[in-house]
Amino acid sequence: MTQGSASGSGLRARRSANPKLKPAGAVLAVAGAAMVIFSFFSWASAEDELFSAAVTGMGSVSIEGGFGSGSGELEQLLEDNSKSPGISTAVFGVLLILAAVLLILNRFPGIAAVVAAVLALLATIRVLFFLFDPVDALIENAGDSSIGDVGWGLCLVAVGSVVALVVSGWAVVLAVRSPAAPASTGR
């Protein structure tokens, strides 16, 4: 292609003339950052009159209340049997941030939007599994896991993944409908 002409179009364009892709990238970056940050907070909790327990997305367990000196041993036992599903959502968040940077910098925005949409879809599916049974997702051999509640960290990771899914889908539509920007001649 000659210098100054559009290189590719739609999804394969090197740059896009649509200015709405930058804000979409910014929102996508914030959603990805939320997924990373809140993967470290409470994903499941249980409370009754005697104790309260919480498990983070990274598998850390904290117990407060009526177990006396045995609570440290119980915490250690639960941590030894805990899973760390927050690692996967944090990785999805980091990858979404990388795709968002490409949208913000207007470098291959169509490809970045499609990659972000696929990552956001996978992250949303994964988070939905955790939302429906948070204790089983966090503790191996949990048995009757209806005793736990969804933690606020997991809820915010879910919000981040759904926002990322919606925004990345919108970015794909914008990228497909946008004409390619003329190639820069200054570099």
Kindly state the helix (H) or strand (E) to which residue 64 belongs, with its residue range.
strand 61-65
Report residue 3's pLDDT band, with 50, 70 and 90 as the boundaries: very low
Q: Could you read off the pLDDT of 83-115 as tens digits, one per residue?
A: 778 899 999 999 999 999 999 988 888 889 999
Tokens for 30, please give them: 């914030």
Q: Hey, what domains does the chain have and what are their CATH numbers?
A: 17-177 (1.20.140)
The model's pTM is: 0.79
- pLDDT confidence of residue 94: 97
What's at 41, amino acid-wise?
F
Q: Could you read off the pLDDT of 37-89 as tens digits, one per residue?
A: 999 998 887 777 777 777 788 877 777 766 555 556 666 666 666 677 889 99
First to last CA, the chain: 16
